[in-house]
Chain A
Amino acid sequence: MAFQLDSKIPEGPLADKWTEHRFHMKLVNPANKRKFRIIVIGSGLAGGAAASSLGELGYNVDCFCFQDSSRRAHSIAAQGGINAAKNYPNDGDSVRRLFYDTIKGGDYRAREANVYRLAEVANSIIDQCVAQGVPFAREYGGLLDNRSFGGAQVSRTFYARGQTGQQLLIGAYQSLQRQVAKGTVNMHVRTEMLDIVKVDGHAKGIIVRDLVSGEIRRHAADAVLICSGGYGNVFYLSTNAMGSNVTAALRAFKRGAGFANPCFTQIHPTCIPVSSEHQSKLTLMSESLRNDGRVWVPKKAGDDRAPRDIPENERDYYLERRYPSFGNLVPRDVASRAAKERCDAGFGVGSTKLAVYLDFADAINRLGEDTVRARYGNLFQMYEKITAENPYKTPMRIYPAVHYTMGGLWVDYNLQTTVPGLFALGEANFSDHGANRLGASALMQGLADGYFVAPYTVGNYLAEHGSLDAEGKVTTDHAAFDEVEKEVQDRLDRLMAVQGERSVDSFHKELGLIMWDNCGMGRTKEGLEKALREIPKLREEFWKNVRIPGDATSFNPELEKAARVADFLEFGEIMCHDALTREESCGGHFREEHQTEEGEALRRDDEFAYAAVWEYMGEGKAPEMSKEILEFKNVKLTTRSYK
């Protein structure tokens, strides 16, 4: 059974769609809002903003996070900034240009109407955050400062030192805690969502595990919002937090929600390279470094000299050479692939030869060390802490790392998945970034969905389908809750019963390697088919040989990890199916069979200008794909060129 995908894009000119749509959406009377309960899974920028905004409107909200506080979601780690088309610098920016840059940057694999709305509401986000007290960087005149960021030729990025994510999240967190104090939001920390409960096809609740007591609990509601972030940890090593996981999204998928473009993952070009097999996570160095740093490798393969001993004419500034007009500022996917190409060809540096130099010597000569310190001091310090090398004296070594996932649960214009009453916001959905996300756009999307889209569209769903009287409400006594809770409990019992020989991490690392080698920066038919053979074998071994110490009825971090890794072991396969089916190169998805003679990505718009929406077909069966054909009426599809 294929999905009947109705994207519900409103009629009318692009610039009027959202205004018109808001007018036509149904409203819930203020006195009736308190009769509805909404579940929000995740408390990052999307979840925190949605939960607080819905609480402010008067709905009852239950918000869940696995962390010990709603302030710790991984949105916090975003460094660089947040985009908006305020055009404060008067440099030619506009909503239309932000829309255009975002859809082009996504390599024309996103839906026009959604991206335009994102660009349109972005200005309100900046206003909202300033009103909350977010200390964005300012000029001496007291007005907000902007900077340029990878892939854009205007300065539209607002930032708060190197910790914009933390400051925006604190803004959302404070608003959320204000609602907790008012009693509109119940915050459930250290609580993990383990499944969705559907009644008559609509999402009506969830099953969770209290991570401290181990207790399994039921929560019923009139709508469920998944704001659980991305799935980059399927690669084990990524810039994601250790706890970031695909569980909520995968459970939704297995309950009938379509999963769109799972193979679209973003590999960020400027991360600190892997140093040893014990490495548990990768650290990003903000893309803003490429504003002043120059990327190079030696011209001679295997050149072992110290970087300062390699004379200028024996260095290959390969980004400047290949892309003279954008140089070191090419978008992330292009910069990452170029680094991989050089390292694969034997020009990599450092002990592992899987690194390139990011050199600030010219910037220091031009601007002085003090200016460079003022701009990037905290990043240089972080680099030195991790590597014990001083980037003022010797070039940084960087290599690409998994950072963000553009794919996610398929949603219509209202951010509703293929399951009525089940919504997906922020990185958890697929909607706005196509095949590649531009810098400073993730924060924008999370907050847009949470503050300014979901509060309207969820209200519209409740007005149309919600029940105002108690008799029409589903409660946790419903048989559907018994059934799903039993499945959750059985699965945990099965995990605990294995008592094999290998740790959860050892399986996770092995899966990560399979994914990185075959579904990473370069993908081939052969490699993907190999991964599709290896993942089921590994999954089988996991269920026979994983060892989880302790018990399921108390605080047990190994059990938490095991449940998440079990889900990654299912999800990795779906990603490979998607990557195998998409016989083109676009954005972060590079199929080596489809490249130009110069090694650039070769998009195939005639056949692949669609979102691939995967459907769960049952245990042990391959997922099936439906297509949402993407129509481009306002932009012309061009080959992205940064030359």
Chain B
Amino acid sequence: MKISLHVWRQKSATSSGGMVPYEVDGVSEDMSFLEMLDMLNEQLIVQGKEPIAFDHDCREGICGTCSLMINGVAHGPDGGTTTCQLHMRSFKDGDAIHIEPWRSVAFPVVRDLVVDRSSFDRIIQSGGFISINAGAAQDANNLPIPKHSSDLSMDAAACIGCGACVASCPNGSAMLFVAAKIGHLAHVPQGQPERAKRARDMVAQMDAEGFGACSNHYECEAVCPKDIPVNFISEMNKDFMKASLCGDS
């Protein structure tokens, strides 16, 4: 296959960027999308040009490092998948593909397609944990948890923190991410003592980072590589409202 690419190039956080066209030939359908970019980078290096910087690490859809807006869709055209798991068989010979970084005030561009997502870490620091020190735990089976609750907790905990939800939201909202983190701990008994405080503090930090609010577009759910449902957002809103009205009790 021969593919025409238009890729966002930006030298650094402070410089301005723009779309640059490239042609890649000899793309096979068994290649992953990132292997296609590897091939382009190999060509650029041999030609003495600077390769395109993009984030990636595990290349098996779990570490949450890879990103990319592909033809305007976070993680590309296949549903429920990360960019690293997207394969070129989802495209055809002669296709033009536009590749951009995640765009959000809270995700400044580092270089080309690489962005800084440390705002997510700071949201976790504000309360996305259970306060337990190593060594303080009781026997694990002393705390039976209904399977249904545990499964719901797991549904939320599947979030890989990639930021696709933010990139796809017209408001640049991180509410699906924050709701998933809150939902993970809200559905198990261990998470109850700090539940109200957690919701209040994490939402406050999310706002402080410059993420927008949710106005029910549900673009986040559509692109989430782990299919995390927006129900968790309404649960978070409930926890937040309750905490705002009733305090930490």
Task: Tell me which of B1-9, B138-146, B209-217, B228-236 binds A.
Answer: B138-146
Binds A, one of B91-99, B149-157, B164-172, B238-246: B149-157
Partner of A131, one of B61, B120, B130, B184: B130
Interface string of A536-551 (1 = CB under 8 A from B): 0000000000010110
Chain B residues, CB < 8 A from A144: 140-141
How many of B's residues come within 8 Å of A, CB to CB?
79
- Is A425 in the interface zone, CB < 8 Å from B? no
Contact residue among A49, A69, A242 (Cβ-Cβ distance under 8 Å from B117)? A69
Nearest A-chain residue to B111, judged by Cβ: A555
Residue B104 is within 8 A (CB to CB) of chain A in the complex: no
With both beta carbons as reference points, the residue of chain A lying nearest to B13 in the complex is identified as A212
- The answer for the CA separation of A636 and B188 in the assembled complex, in Å, is 45
Contact flag A142-B45 (CB < 8 Å), given A69-B117, A170-B157, A180-B125: no
Stretch with Cβ within 8 A of B (4 or more), from A26-34, A72-80, A256-264: A72-80
Neighbouring A residues of B111 by C-beta, 8 Å: 554-555
Closest to A127 in B: B137
User: Which residues of A15-72 have CB atoms within 8 Å of chain B's CB atoms?
Assistant: 49, 52-53, 56, 67-72
- Closest chain-B Cβ to A376's Cβ sits at a distance in Å of 16
Q: Are A178 and B62 in contact (CB-based, < 8 A)?
A: no
Please determine whether B28 and A276 come into contact, CB atoms closer than 8 angstroms. Answer: yes
Q: Check B57 against A243 for contact (C-beta < 8 Å).
A: yes
Cβ-neighbour of B32 out of A141, A280, A506 (below 8 A): A280
C-alpha spacing A256/B133, complex, angstroms: 34
Determine chain B's interface SS by DSSP, over half rule.
loop
CA distance A621 to B150 in the complex (A): 56
Which residues of chain A are near B65, meaning CB under 8 Å? Answer: 67-68, 72
A49, A68, A133: the one contacting B55 at CB < 8 Å is A68
Q: Is A505 an interface residue (CB 8 A)?
A: yes
CA distance A507 to B184 in the complex (A): 44
A126-155 contacts to B, CB under 8 A, are: 126-133, 135-144
CA distance A408 to B135 in the complex (A): 27
Task: Report the nearest B residue to A550, measured CB to CB.
Answer: B50
B137 contacts A503, CB within 8 Å? no
| B141 lies within 8 A of A177 (CB) | no
Determine whether the beta carbon of A128 is less than 8 Å from that of B137: yes
- In the complex, whether B38 has a CB less than 8 A from a CB of chain A is yes
Chain B residue, CB-CB nearest to A547? B45
Does A241 touch B at the CB level, under 8 Å? yes
The reply to whether A77 and B62 form a contact with Cβ atoms under 8 Å apart is yes
Cβ contacts under 8 Å, A129 to chain B:
140
Q: In the bound complex, do residue B28 and residue A278 qualify as a contact, i.e. CB atoms below 8 Å apart?
A: yes
Mask, A402-426, CB within 8 Å of B = 1, is 0000000000000000000000000
Supposing A67-B57, A139-B147 touch, asked if A177 and B138 sit within 8 A by C-beta, the answer is: no
Interface positions, chain B 173-223, Cβ under 8 Å from A, are 184-185, 188, 190-191
Taking the closest CB of chain B, its distance from the CB of A304, in whole angstroms, is: 20
**Whole-angstrom distance from the CB of A188 to the nearest CB of chain B?**
11
Tell me if A142 and B144 are in contact (CB < 8 A).
yes
**Are A386 and B85 interface neighbours, CB within 8 A?**
yes
List chain B residues, Cβ under 8 A from A638.
Answer: none
Is A325 interfacial (CB-CB < 8 Å)?
no
Within 8 A of B (CB), among A433-462: 451-452, 455
Q: Which of A160-168, A294-302, A604-612 contacts B (4 or more CB under 8 A)?
A: A160-168
Q: What residue of chain B has the Cβ atom nearest to residue A281's Cβ? A: B59
Chain B nearest CB from A446 CB (Å) reads: 13
Q: Does B114 contact A (CB under 8 A)?
A: yes
CB distance from A25 to the nearest CB of B (A): 15
A305 at the interface (CB under 8 A from B): no
**Counting CB contacts under 8 A, is B161 at the interface?**
yes
A68-B150 contact, Cβ under 8 Å, with A174-B129, A278-B38, A386-B85: no
Q: List residues of chain A with CB within 8 A of the CB of B11.
A: 554
Closest to B82 in A: A385
Q: Are B12 and A133 in contact (CB under 8 A)?
A: no
The 8 Å CB contact of A135, one of B35, B55, B154, is B154
Per-residue 0/1 for A269-296: is the Cβ within 8 Å of any B Cβ (1 yes, 0 no)? 0000001101111011000000000000
Q: Contact at A56–B42, with CB atoms within 8 Å?
A: no
* Closest-CB distance, A384 to chain B (whole angstroms): 11
Q: Which of A143, A189, A382, A555 contacts B114 (CB 8 A)?
A: A555
Q: Tell yes or no: A86 within 8 A of B by CB.
A: yes
From residue A273, how far is it (CB to closest CB) to chain B in Å? 11
Contacts A72-B63, A243-B57, A279-B35 given; does A133 touch B191 at CB 8 Å:
yes
B154 lies within 8 A of A53 (CB): no
Q: Provided the pairs A49-B134, A69-B118 are in contact, do residues A133 and B190 lie with their beta carbons within 8 angstroms?
A: yes
Residue in contact with A177 in the complex, picked from B50, B124, B184, CB distance below 8 Å: B124
- Known contacts A178-B131, A555-B114: A143-B141 contact under CB 8 Å: yes
- Cβ proximity bits A162-199 to B, threshold 8 Å, 1 near / 0 not: 01011100100111011011000001010000000000
Which residues of the other chain, B, contact A385 by a CB distance below 8 angstroms?
78, 81, 85, 87
Instruction: Kindly state whether residue B30 has any CB partner on chain A within 8 Å.
Output: yes
- Please determine whether B57 and A130 come into contact, CB atoms closer than 8 angstroms: no
Contact of A131 with B132 in the complex, beta carbons under 8 Å:
yes
Query: Cβ of B125: which chain A residues have Cβ within 8 Å of it?
Result: 177-178, 180-181
Q: How far is the CB of B72 from the nearest CB of chain A, in Å?
A: 21
Residues of chain B within 8 A of A642, CB atoms compared: none
Residues of chain A within 8 A (CB-CB) of B42 are: 503, 505-506
A512 to chain B, nearest CB (A): 14
A135 and B184 within 8 A (CB): yes
B101 at the interface (CB under 8 A from A): no
Annotate A87-112 by CB proximity to B: 1 below 8 A, 0 otherwise.
Answer: 01000000000000000000000000
- Collect the chain A residues with CB atoms within 8 Å of residue B41's CB: 503
Asked if B137 and A242 make an inter-chain contact with CB atoms under 8 angstroms apart, the answer reads no
* Contacting residue for B58 out of A52, A74, A138, A550, CB 8 A: A74
Residue A558 is within 8 A (CB to CB) of chain B in the complex:
yes
Q: Which of B89, B124, B135, B147 interacts with A138 by CB under 8 Å?
A: B147
Most chain A CB within a 10 A radius of its CB, from B49, B65, B190, B191: B65
Q: Which residues of A contact B150 (CB under 8 A)?
A: 135-138, 142
Judging by beta carbons under 8 Å apart, are A132 and B58 in contact? no
Does B56 contact A242, Cβ atoms closer than 8 Å? yes
Residues of B within 8 A of A126 (CB): 140
CB distance A549 to B134 under 8 Å?
no
Interface residue? A489 (CB, 8 A): no
Closest chain A residue to B126, Cβ basis:
A181
Given A133-B190, A386-B87, decide whether A74 and B134 contact each other with a Cβ distance below 8 A. no
Bound: A360/B153 CA distance, A? 30
Q: How far, in whole Å, are A67 and B63 apart by their CA atoms in the complex?
A: 10
Closest A-chain residue to B49, C-beta based?
Answer: A549
Chain B residues within CB distance 8 Å of chain A? 11-12, 28, 30-32, 34-35, 38-39, 41-42, 44-46, 48-51, 53, 55-65, 78, 81, 85, 87, 89, 110-111, 114, 116-118, 120-121, 124-126, 128-141, 143-147, 150-151, 153-154, 157-158, 160-161, 184-185, 188, 190-191
The 5 closest A-B pairs by CB, nearest first: A142-B144, A174-B129, A131-B137, A127-B137, A135-B154
24 A-B pairs with CB atoms under 8 Å apart are A49-B134, A68-B116, A72-B64, A77-B58, A77-B60, A129-B140, A137-B150, A139-B147, A142-B145, A143-B144, A160-B157, A166-B158, A167-B157, A174-B124, A178-B131, A189-B121, A242-B57, A276-B30, A281-B60, A382-B61, A386-B85, A549-B50, A550-B50, A555-B110
Known contacts A77-B62, A135-B154, A241-B57; 6 additional CB pairs below 8 A are A53-B133, A56-B133, A131-B130, A275-B30, A280-B35, A558-B45
